[in-house]
Structure 1
Amino acid sequence: MVVGGVRIMVRSGASIAWIASLLWGFDSRPVNATPANKAAFEKHYDRFLTKSLDRCTTCHLPSDRKLPETLEEFPHNPFGDRLRRLGDEMASTGQKKDLVARLTAIAAEDADGDGVSNQVELLLGHSPGDTNDSPSASELAETEVRAAEFSQFLASYRWRPFESVSRPVVPTPSPASFVVRNPVDAFLAAEWDTLGLKARPEASKEVLLRRVYVDLIGLNPTPAELEAFLADSAPDAYEEVVERLLADPRHGERWARHWMDVWRYSDWAGWADGNQIRDSKPHIWRWRDWIIESLNADKPYDQVVKEMLAADELAPEDPETLRATGFLVRNYKMLSREQWLEDTVKHTAQAFLGVTLGCAKCHDHMFDPISQREYYALRAIFEPHQVRTDRVPGELDRAKNGLVRAYDATNAPTWFLVRGDERHPLTNEVIAAGVPAALGGSLDLHEVRLPRLAAHPDERGFVVHDAVTASERAVAEAKAAWTRAQSGTNASVALLQGSFLAYDLADKKHAALLAVLAIEPADPTREPASAAEADPARLRQATNIALLQRSAAVADANLRHFQATAALASATNKVDELKKKLAEAELQVSKAINGLAKPLDANFEPRAVETYPSTSTGRRTAFANWVADRRNPLAARVAVNHVWLRHFGHGLVSTPADFGRNGRPPTNPQLLDWLAAEFMEPSVRCPGRNAGSSRTAVYNASPSNDVGAAWSFRHLHRLMVTSSAYRMASTPDEADLAADPDNRHLWRMNSRRLEAEAVRDNLLYVAGTLDAKIGGPEVDHTLALTSSRRSIYLRHAAEKQAEFLQIFDGAAVTECYERHPSVMPQQALALGNSELATKQARLLAGQLLSDAGGDDTRLVQLAFARVLSRRPTIDEQRQCLDFLSQRAVTSDSDGEAKRRAANLVLVLFNHHDFVTVR
């Protein structure tokens, strides 16, 4: 039997498939998966791959011994040793040490001498290098059956994720009632023809309007917007709505939250006051604002990728663009640089390329074409980078405000780590930066010379201005205090034990210079003389002493006055010293303004000067260019799949962070490739684009100047949400449901639960209390029930997540490439009893009562329009009217009416249609 092009004879004389056809694909290129996705792999290959194949003991001896100093000394069993020696032989003849070739070459051998070939032992889940781990006779009898089943399975699995994207020909499906509005429909309809599926009819206008509103801006349409749409009979009325929503600033907020899932946005975690920021960094909210602004500006995706990975090299003097490197800052780990780098490599690959790299840290990837060396070559791209916080205009204290960003600190070396253990690096070879060969291309590496102000950020004009302003203000305040002290009738000298008088000065580089004026400490054995009179003649000689009214004990902040008893000569010396120091301090301020003066002497203690390297490695720029290159086989496919997932409820590839062999193949690979090609090089004019000049609802398949820009997310949104497929009803057909119960081929629209943020935002929005402000620092997560800010602005970090959002399956902090909604009773309680829900219900009830003018029927209709964006059915209206009529007998009729109306609103908050997109 031949599977994957390999024919090998086993001991019984039967012919079976070599397990490498599973592990390394169909074209003899090595392919692999990460242990993090083991569950997905087992679900996909469960019948064919035994769970013991991931054991290290397949190739190595038990590891209960000290780790070796070099990789060559790592202990192998006979099978692993045979693989290693064969690799050495191949290398000695100039061949690549291809693992598939080595496995194939020794497939028929019997490494452990137990009479069973290596291939059969692997297929059955036994170690071919361990004589004590051999298959039984009954297991051997199963091999032929299992190999046949696996061969049939492979024949149906033709997904080639690492091949370059090419634009498929748009099919012409058979004529049907389904309207083909754009190529998305054509590809789906052609598949339905093949599978015998029938598309569902178009959803009602009410359902469709709420669907597209929630998808594009995350909020319900208002009753006025709903009525206007229902009344608009123009053929492109829907397309006009789409254009308006894409131009709405709230669109950026809505889709920023989606991409923040993919890019793992996290606010800082730890203890800020104790200088214990463990994860991420303060002020990373600026990255979040950059995401929102970029989406609202429809910044091309290739530019988005480049700025997030390398803005510090591409735009080193542009603070607006530098915010993008929050993508790298987010991975910061105070306690582990190793974990920081591991997360950076892993999640950069998954976010932009849809490949898993976890296992390649320790060994060659077991399922995708990525070797261990290539993993460390990828790591070398990020090895030099660090994070820093630059000052921003108006605030010198970076703890209060700042721009957190990435930069290359040093040209740090990258080494192999034995078993991925940072304690055991192989320092005899430095790994060069590179990318996996299977993905094509290479890095065009060039060192980047940075402008002076990027390396010396405290020399920027606004930093100098703010520092001088602060210094002048501090000196003015000190002089005012001096004047007040001199004008006193009976001057007293405040003697601070071990303290000093300080004037806060600044020059262009240093925000604060300290002129230390030491005063003789008081005798701690003496009691302070309260309101004691002193000899005016003696005190006049001390009138120029700077009198500090400060507490000797900072804790209780009580001013302690001491009678001046110093000798006249001593007081005179202090006066002279004070005069000299003050003159020097004032001179220093003048120099700071005019000429970037240095501190005068040791008494002046300058603030630390921020100085950084004047060059950057250029590695991240080269990598970003490689990712965003149109020849990259994965970047466009992965991005398109994420957008599709969030519009249709399921990705074309159902494992959005794993396009490799461990993931699932796309349900419609031709559609995915067409969308990826269209994303990079648009050729289709969508209906509704510039619709003011041409009101049409038919797409133009011919190349045109009036198409979306390259890498435009808005172009993708238009294609998807204006398609007939998007407009279908979600109600199932019994025959189609039996043929495709999971709706993998999208013959109807998927109903889906609102994300946690959209649930909370709509509670606020329908009551008219949602704060429309865009951007700004994060809001404390503990204020989720009382703040009116949109949920995207709530603090989101480890141990700092809003409980309300967690109840509705808010984004996980560690990674969240896809949300997985749940249904549990706490959700109903949150919508019925929480402080947030009850407050919004009361507010909305008051508005409904006012607008309804005492008409309960009108009140019910308004409530449905506000909360559910639709009209009530006849049965729903009757039940609601019955509920409102059951008012308790009370003298407070107005209060009872408000309570009933509020309770009705709470019922609608718990309605399935409030938390569901149909």
Structure 2
Amino acid sequence: MSRNSLFLSWVVIGGFLLLPSAIALSAEEAKLDPAQVEDFEKNVRPVLATKCVGCHGPDKQKGGLRLDSRTSMMQGGDSGPAIAPGDPEQSRLVEAIRYGDDLQMPPKGKLKEAEINALTRWVKAGALWPEIRLESAAAPPAPSVAATAGISEQDRAFWAFRPITSPPPPRVQDASWPRSSIDDFVLNKLDSAGLKPVAPADKRTLIRRATFDLIGLPPTVEEVDAFLRDESPEAFARVVDRLLASPHYGERWGRHWLDVARYGEDQAHTFEARQYPSGFRYRDWVVKSLNDDKPYDQFVMEQIAGDLLDGPNRDERLAALGFFALGPVYYGKAVYDELDDRVDTLSRGFLGLTVACARCHDHKFDPIPQRDYYALAGIFASTQYKEYPQAPADVIARYDQAQAAIKAKTDEIATFQRSASTRLSEELVSQTARYMVASWKLVNRRKVEPTLRTASVAKAEQVEAFFLDRWVKYLWPEQAVERPYFARWHKVVDAQDKAVDLSADSVAVAQVTEAARQFETYLQSLVAVRKAVEAQQNAAKAIGLEPKSTEADSSLTGIDGQVFGEIASRDGLFAIPKDRVDGLMTADLKAALKALKSDLNRLKKEAPPKYAVTHALAEGTSIADMKLFLRGNPETPADEVPRRFLSVLSQETPAPFRQGSGRLELARAIASPANPLTARVMVNRIWEHHFGRGLVGTPSNFGHMGERPTHPELLDHLASRFIALGWSMKALHREIMGSATYQLSGQFNERNNEVDPDNHLLWKMNRRRLEVEAWRDSMLAVSGTLDPTIGGPSIALTSSDNKRRTFYASISRHNLDGLLRLFDFPDPNITSDKRTVTAVPLQQLFVLNSDFMERQAKALAARLQAASNSSLAERIMQAFLVLYARPASEREVQWALEFLGEGEPTPQGQGGGALSKWEEYAQVLLGTNEFTFVD
């Protein structure tokens, strides 16, 4: 069967290919994404304020240009508009910061790559500009950080900062519809809009929805049949309880949390990249915590300060600190970006606030002063990364001893190579004349052979090519260099014909050879002086005298010192690169080095493997408050900011933290039932993953730039219930899933759609596409190849033998797996609150052509054909029950029979990887929207 006919056969089963047209942008998605506002405040506004506005702002307008508002950028200056929103390539601002040929800004130095990318990204997205003026670069310093936070009553009156209430369920018109108090709040909103909920979902749809929601796998045929036979009012509650008791529940909901925790097992960079080979311990801690229904307040505290909590099971709690410990790592001055990452992940993840937007200035929208940011940053600056051994003391001791021996042998080899390098460099001084003559011959021959390679002349003259290259550049620099010690040499060379190749002229060769030997004699005399001084210093040290200078080279001053330094010193022309030393050694030196390396290899082979560790945190060696950086610049520090909690979430001026870094006090403040955000944020996240959208549409931003809750009273009702039920996430699942709202069908209603096209009022259930993990796992499950093992080290998805859940795939920040990247897996470098949903041609090409899809199609076909005592029609019916939890219609069976050939044999695929008809049919079933979406 051709690929074209396979494509057309998709219509056979009533589903459709996952084409780009299958998913349309909703009106909500077409609106401005608050994340763009956050990106502007965090990454764009600070660059403009500190690098641009000083010369292009209210006080000064070089070139007639102002860059302190979108309008002024559009108006431009003497050279025209500065930006073309949506088109960075046509924007003068972008050209300038990229340092174009005739336009380079800022003139004192190019922006960092991240800053250039941020401004380019901003222009490409349309140059969004919240209407708040930029501070002038010449603005006065920020007030003393000792000043009062200045949070007003109006600030605290914002909905997200008000205390959680417990509103009573409202009255509704149809009192028979609600199954729980949740439904009263939902129906009240619908009543107010003049809308009515659609019909409830049928039992097959409901169990498929619930099973995917709670464990991320399709229900089995037996589970569906059992639910259909159970006609008691508690039938669905029993399904929910069974799923919540499944060990796969922790995997499904653990993945949701790992998105927030920006879980990864390495770094996005390669320079000194820290690896997290035991990162899976945090992942498995999350699974176990969720399966055990660990109270959410405890779940929060252990991830912030698990090492500081009292009680048993400390090793288990240490793994919880992977929330921070497995994060991105930065070096040098960029270490402040690492603190920023931790503040951002903490505040978005637990509090739903964009505190990191206050790194460079007071938050532009929320009551979060810059001081609050540095109060939290100081906590993490007083904390350090630590690997805790998870092995007996004797195992650790053996490993450490073996590593110490390896290090000692490595150091011995390095010392040997340095000594050999020094000896070889000194010996090369005696070849100075040879290199000078060879460089002269090379320059002469290139007069007639411009492309002549250095290696050709080096081989003929018996010198090393890379040293010869150095000598050519040294003796014939691009620009004239004053070197009086080459006066004799230049006199000879300058007298020769510049246009003629004299490399074979015996008279010319003799002249340059004599001049080169004279210089070599001089250079060797300098080396002799240096050796004599070095010997004198060593002799003085032997009798207890300290030499006047610690540098032997200090005996060579003036021109003598310059010549020695340029040619014979450890950094001179004869300095040997590390990777060249071994090749230049004599036979006896090579033999000695080989013996040392053999010893090193033996030590490495005999060394025991690294013992297990937990990547976690510990109190820092230095506990101190951080200074506030004016405009976020570490070069302009102001006063110190006491480590403490956020001002707006404190009843009065927040008290400084006194216990070590302050992490334990921070954990208690966040997990406190008096904190109005923690419960609301988590309730909203749970609601989001059940309905496809949270009651607050911006799950990690409950601030002014976030969306307002569609059902504020319901959110508070659930948050108060969440706390009252002991912060039990499983209890919250039961409340939500037991509601009539959750059990609605996805039926379309034209009247409702006209009033509420985005279903914010919850008149139906939203249809959702499976995330890549659940989609891949489902194919393994229905094909009968899924390995359900819980926990353990991660495995690469690229392995054809990997049949474990996608949850256990290796997550690389540096090189994210192609399947994950293709199907909208979030960037593990940053905290993510929701998955984007794209539909691009490459996704469908994967469904049509990938080895993975073919393997699953073959396995599914084999599973369906295994029932040899069943008719062809019965096997087709079974396929629909397995994949879609519903029976096939008569029409679907008939189409399949026509395609498969009723009564014909069903051979396996022929050679060359071709698929049999059954296998092609199985691939079609796996690639439909019905398999990919949940109603």
Report TM bin, short chain.
0.5 to 0.7
Matched residue of 2:199: which SS?
A: coil
Alignment of 1:630-669 (within 5 A): 630-669=673-712
Q: Is this contact kept in 2: 1:388–1:406, CA < 8 A?
A: yes
Length, aligned pairs only: 611
> Corresponding residue for 2:287?
292
Match of 1:832 among 837, 840, 848: 848
CA distance in 2, matches of 1:418, 1:66: 20
2:276 maps to what in 1? 281
- Alignment TM-score, normalising by the size of structure 2: 0.60
Q: TM-score, normalised by structure 1?
A: 0.61
Task: Identify which of 398, 401, 411 aligns with 2:623.
Answer: 411
> Within 5 A, what are the aligned runs for 1:784-795?
785-795=800-810
Shift of 1:888: 8.3
CA distance in 2, matches of 1:39, 1:887: 63
Aligned partners of 2:703, 2:274: CA distance in 1, in Å? 30
Q: Secondary structure at the match of 1:305?
A: helix
Change (3 A) 1:257 1:81: closer
1:372 to 355, 370, 373: 370
* Alignment partner, residue 796 of structure 1: 811
* Equivalent residues of 2:352, 2:702 under 8 A apart: yes
CA distance in 2, matches of 1:100, 1:724: 41
The answer to whether residue 883 in structure 2 is matched with residue 864 in structure 1 is no
Mapped pair 1:313 → 2:308 = yes
| Counterpart in the other structure of 2:869 | 853
- Specify whether residues 440 and 65 from structure 1 end up closer, same or farther in structure 2 by C-alpha distance, changes over 3 A only: farther
Counterpart CA distance in 1 for 2:810 and 2:210 is 27
In 2, Cα distance between equivalents of 1:165 and 1:892: 63
Specify the alignment match of 1:910 in structure 2: 927
Check 1:169–1:903 CA distance in 2 against 1; reply closer, same or farther (3 A cut).
same
* Local SS of the residue matching 1:278: coil
CA distance in 1 between partners of 2:743 and 2:138 (Å): 59
SS in 2 for 1:406: strand
Amino acid at match of 1:777: P
Code of the residue aligned with 1:662 in structure 2: it is: M
Determine the structure 2 residue equivalent to 1:37: 35
Aligned-partner SS, 1:342 = helix
CA RMSD of aligned residues (A): 3.8
Cα distance change on mapping 1:677 and 1:53 into 2, 3 Å: farther
The partner residue of 1:712 within 708, 728, 739 is: 728
Structure 1, 829-838 or 378-387: larger mean CA deviation: 829-838
Deviation at 1:908, TM superposition (A): 0.8
Deviation at 1:265, TM superposition (A): 1.1
Map of 1:435 onto structure 2: 645
CA 1:401–1:887: 2 relative to 1, 3 Å: farther
Which structure is higher in RCO with an 8 Å CA cutoff and minimum separation 6?
A: 2
Could you tell me which residue of structure 2 aligns to residue 730 of structure 1? 746
Give me the whole-angstrom Cα distance separating, in 2, the residues matched to 1:900 and 1:675. 52
Deviation digits for residues 311-350 of structure 1, max 9, x if unmatched? Answer: 1111597211110000110224143421111100111100
Amino acid at match of 1:439: L
The equivalent of 2:823 in structure 1 is 808
Instruction: Note closer, same or farther for the CA distance 1:227–1:346 as it changes in structure 2 (3 Å cut).
Output: same
Whether 1:420 and 2:632 are equivalent positions in the alignment is yes
**Aligned equivalents of 1:319, 1:61: Cα separation in 2:** 59
CA distance in 2, matches of 1:337, 1:731: 52
| Cα distance in 2 between the residues matched to 1:172 and 1:749 | 23
Return the alpha-carbon distance in structure 2 between the equivalents of residues 83 and 893 of structure 1: 74
Q: What residue in structure 2 maps to residue 560 of structure 1?
A: none
In 1, are the aligned partners of 2:254 and 2:290 still within 8 Å (CA)? yes
State the Cα distance separating 1:778 from its structure 2 match: 1.2
Larger displacement relative to structure 2 (411-420 or 718-727) = 411-420
Match of 2:408 in 1: none
Matched, 1:250 2:266: no
Deviation at 1:781, TM superposition (A): 4.1
Unaligned segments of structure 2, at least 5 residues = 1-31, 62-66, 68-105, 110-132, 400-608
Q: Deviations over 1:182-216 (max 9, x none)?
A: 11111000000001111011111111110000000
Q: 1:192-246 CA distances to partner (integer Å, 9 max, x unpaired)?
A: 0001111011111111110000000000011111111112211111110000000
- Quote the Cα distance in structure 2 between the aligned partners of 1:742 and 1:380: 42
User: Contact 1:363–1:371 at 8 Å: present in 2 too?
Assistant: yes
Please show how residues 160-309 of structure 1 align to structure 2 within 5 Å.
Answer: 160-175=159-174, 179-269=177-267, 278=273, 281-309=276-304
Could you tell which deviates more after superposition, 619-628 or 877-886? 877-886
Distance 2:238 2:825 in 1: 32
Matches of 1:193 and 1:41, distance apart in 2: 38
Q: Which amino acid aligns with 1:418?
A: L
Shift of 1:403: 1.4
- Go from structure 1 to structure 2 and tell me whether the alpha carbon gap of 1:84 and 1:434 turns closer, same or farther (over 3 Å shift): same
Q: Write the distance in 2 (CA, Å) between the matches of 1:713 and 1:806.
A: 30
1:767-825 Cα offsets, whole Å, 9 max, x none, are: 12111111111112432x54011111111121332222222211221232111111123
Is contact 1:760-1:805 (8 Å) kept?
A: no
* Cα distance change of structure 1 residues 41 and 53 upon mapping to structure 2, 3 Å threshold: same
> 1:755 deviation in Å?
0.4
In the aligned structure 1, how far is the partner of 2:909 from the partner of 2:817? 38
Measure the CA separation in 1 of the matches of 2:866 and 2:840: 35
Could you list the structure 1 runs, at least 4 aligned residues long, displaced by more than 4 angstroms after superposition.
39-43, 52-67, 77-85, 94-101, 397-400, 441-448, 886-898
Q: Tell whether the 8 Å contact from 1:216 to 1:254 is kept in structure 2 after alignment.
A: yes
Change (3 A) 1:79 1:329: closer
Q: For residues 138-183 of structure 1, what are the alpha-carbon distances to aligned partners after superposition, in whole Å with 9 as ceiling and x for unaligned?
A: xxxxxxxxxxxxxxxx9xxx96111111111111211266x21111
Provide the secondary structure at the position in 2 that maps to 1:403.
Answer: strand
How far residue 650 of structure 1 moved from its aligned partner, in angstroms, is 0.7
CA contact (8 A) 2:38 2:357 kept: no
Q: Show the counterpart of 1:614.
A: none
Q: CA deviation at 1:618?
A: 5.0
In 2, Cα distance between the equivalents of 1:173 and 1:246? Answer: 31
Once the 2 structures are TM-superposed, how far is the Cα of residue 39 of structure 1 from its aligned partner? 4.3
Residue aligning to 1:107: none
- 2:325 corresponds to 1:329: yes
Alignment-mate amino acid for residue 749 of structure 2: D
The question of whether the paired residues in 2 share the 8 Å contact of 1:786 and 1:836 is answered with no
Give, in angstroms, the shift of residue 827 of structure 1. Answer: 2.3
Question: SS of 2:617's equivalent?
Answer: strand
Q: Partners of 1:731 and 1:250 in 2: how far apart?
A: 30
The change in CA–CA distance for 1:319 and 1:40 in structure 2 (over 3 A counts) is closer
The answer to whether residue 688 in structure 2 is matched with residue 672 in structure 1 is no
**Displacement of 1:836:** 1.6
Give 2:724's aligned amino acid.
E
CA contact (8 A) 1:159 1:665 kept: no
Asked if structure 1 preserves the Cα contact closer than 8 Å seen for 2:264 and 2:812, the reply is yes
Classify the secondary structure of the residue corresponding to 2:197.
coil
Q: 1: distance between equivalents of 2:630 and 2:805?
A: 47
